[in-house]
């Protein structure tokens, strides 16, 4: 099978590049081995949340200038970063991912562990500090679900009380949730979301309304266990409850993250893109310094050929990169990687400090072409979390790196074709 472009990995970077190309009428195939970081995404996207001294950033574009040369943002002209970030937000909007926030000023998201952290874009229904500050009084009720293992209202309250909010802590329960709780392992966000439809959703709304009846809170904050795929469910709940509702991210698998990913994939497919779902690329065929074909675990000897390839396989979490006892490797194409050469320098003794190994990744040239034995592969680009210099944990820049590099590479391919 032959395509114009093949993309390996369908996380945020891979699917964004795929959409950008398919929107221009290009013939694109997306190969996805499965779960990505998006399935754990908080419902907020970071462009640059913390600078290199780990100080919170209010203006991401200004702070990007102070990033080290090894960071992927340094391959963009400073002036073009704003344009790429706006393009990325537009791409999400076209896919039906509705967010608040902009590139000029970060806002504050609230983590499941009760921390306020700077963010670039946040799904409309997901709670931000700024949205709560618009309420007529600084008083909210945080509604937990009895026996739910991935949401701790006390943590969210701790974050908000520091910001001057009064917080009521409430717990909701009803026969639907009790049935789910018969097996404690069923009380995870994805399983609760599965029953939140039809009559069960209405009954949940009524239980929330009843339990919050005596609270004078200006808004309620619920764990993000409602299906975010359409706006219908959250609107329906708001109507039943009869007051402002926000959703806070939960720990573990994330319903807002899955919803974002589902919308992006659906948009790609609606544009006529081809998806090889559940396929892992296991080997490749090169001709001198060009990539000719890739092979997946499901297609045996059937080669997938293309003029251009984009590697969006992610970092260690998604096995786009693998750490052996003494080096960091990219396991499919054997691309050049950058990592601290001395293994004793991979980790900081402070568990919560910046871990140098997280900056490891694929080495690329100024146009994001991946290098092999020091030579750029003419038609193989690397994007997203697999890139060297993109420590998304310490800088909160993961989504920005994924989106901006994906769009930059897709635009380059469009220009060259
Ligand atoms: C658990 C977790 C939570 C995060 N939460 C947030 C957040 O809330 N906000 C934020 O801004 N950033 C977050 N990040 C940072 C995150 O890395 C980026 O935001 C971004 O989603 C990374 O996208 P990516 O597409 O580059 O990589 P990934 O999301 O890792 O996707 C890579 C994909 O490639 C596939 N793949 C790998 N190898 C192959 C192969 N050989 N063949 C086929 N497919 C392959 C993987 O299965 C995976 O689906 C989080 C990261 C992690 C690990």
In a domain, 225, yes or no: yes
Note the pLDDT of residue 54.
Answer: 87
Note the pLDDT of residue 344.
Answer: 76
Note the pLDDT of residue 136.
Answer: 95
Residues of the domain holding 135: 127-248
Q: Which atom of ligand 1 is nearest to the CA of 46?
A: 11
* pTM of the predicted model as reported, rounded to 2 decimal places: 0.95
Q: Which atom of ligand 1 is nearest to the CA of 249?
A: 8
Question: Does 93 lie in the same domain as 20?
Answer: yes
Compute the radius of gyration of the chain from its Cα atoms.
Answer: 22
Note the pLDDT of residue 5.
Answer: 98
Note the pLDDT of residue 358.
Answer: 78
Question: Does 225 lie in the same domain as 282?
Answer: no
Residues of the chain with pLDDT under 70: 228-231
How many structural domains is the chain composed of? 2
What is the pairing mode between strands 304-311 and 2-8?
A: parallel
Calpha distance 105→70 (Å, rounded): 24
Question: Does 353 lie in the same domain as 281?
Answer: yes
Note the pLDDT of residue 284.
Answer: 97
What is the pairing mode between strands 2-8 and 28-32?
A: parallel
Q: Which two tokens stand for residue 318?
A: 């998604």
Question: Does 263 lie in the same domain as 242?
Answer: no
Note the pLDDT of residue 340.
Answer: 74
Q: How far is the CA of 326 from the centre of ligand 1 (A)?
A: 24
Question: Does 271 lie in the same domain as 218?
Answer: no
In a domain, 301, yes or no: yes
In sequence order, what E strands does 265-389 have?
A: 274-277, 281-287, 290-296, 304-311, 322-323, 328-329, 337-338, 361-362, 369-372, 375-382
Q: How far is the CA of 17 from the centre of ligand 1 (A)?
A: 14
Q: List pLDDT tens digits, range 74-102.
A: 999 878 999 999 999 999 999 999 999 99
User: Residue of the nearest CA to atom 53 in ligand 1?
Assistant: 37
Note the pLDDT of residue 347.
Answer: 77
> Could you tell which of 31, 37, 45, 304 is best to mutate to test the pocket of ligand 1, judged by most ligand atoms within 8 Å of the CB?
37
User: Residue of the nearest CA to atom 50 in ligand 1?
Assistant: 37
Note the pLDDT of residue 231.
Answer: 65
Q: Which atom of ligand 1 is nearest to the CA of 119?
A: 11
Note the pLDDT of residue 300.
Answer: 80
CATH number at residue 166: 3.40.50.1860
């Amino acid at each position: 099978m032959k395509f114009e472009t093949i993309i390996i990995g369908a996380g945020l970077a891979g699917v964004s590049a795929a959409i950008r190309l398919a929107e221009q009428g290009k013939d694109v195939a997306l190969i996805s081995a499965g779960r990505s970081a998006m399935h754990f995404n908080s419902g907020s996207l970071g462009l640059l949340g913390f600078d290199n001294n780990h100080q919170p950033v209010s203006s991401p574009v200004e702070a990007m200038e102070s990033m080290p040369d090894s960071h992927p943002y340094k391959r963009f002209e400073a002036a073009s970063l704003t344009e790429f970030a706006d393009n990325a937000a537009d791409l999400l909007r076209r896919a039906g991912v509705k967010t608040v926030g902009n590139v000029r000023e970060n806002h504050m998201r609230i983590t499941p562990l009760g921390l306020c952290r700077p963010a670039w874009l946040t799904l409309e229904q997901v709670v931000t500090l700024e949205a709560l500050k618009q309420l007529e009084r600084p008083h909210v009720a945080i509604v937990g679900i009895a026996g739910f293992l991935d949401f701790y209202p006390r943590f969210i309250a701790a974050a908000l009380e520091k910001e001057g909010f009064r917080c009521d802590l409430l717990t909701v329960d009803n026969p639907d949730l009790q049935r789910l709780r018969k097996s404690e392992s069923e009380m995870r966000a994805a399983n609760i979301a599965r029953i939140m439809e039809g009559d069960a959703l209405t009954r949940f709304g009524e239980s929330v309304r009843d339990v919050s009846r005596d609270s004078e809170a200006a808004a309620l904050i619920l764990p993000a266990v409602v299906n975010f795929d359409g706006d219908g469910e959250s609107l329906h709940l708001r109507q039943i409850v009869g007051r402002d509702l926000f959703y806070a991210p939960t720990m573990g698998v994330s319903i807002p993250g899955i919803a974002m990913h589902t919308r992006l994939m659906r948009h790609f497919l609606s544009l006529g893109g081809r998806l090889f779902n559940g396929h892992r690329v296991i080997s490749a065929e090169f001709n001198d310094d060009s990539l000719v074909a890739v092979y997946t675990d499901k297609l045996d000897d059937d080669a997938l050929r293309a003029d251009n390839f984009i590697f969006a396989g992610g970092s260690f979490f998604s096995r786009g990169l693998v750490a052996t006892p003494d080096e960091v490797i990219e396991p499919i194409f054997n691309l050049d990687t950058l990592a601290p050469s001395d293994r004793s320098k991979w980790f900081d003794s402070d568990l919560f400090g910046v871990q140098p190994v997280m900056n490891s990744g694929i080495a690329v040239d100024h146009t994001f072409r991946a290098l092999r034995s020091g030579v750029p592969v003419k038609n193989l680009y690397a994007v997203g979390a697999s890139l060297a210099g993109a420590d998304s944990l310490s800088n909160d820049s993961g989504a920005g790196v994924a989106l901006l590099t994906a769009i930059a590479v897709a635009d380059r391919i469009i220009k060259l074709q």
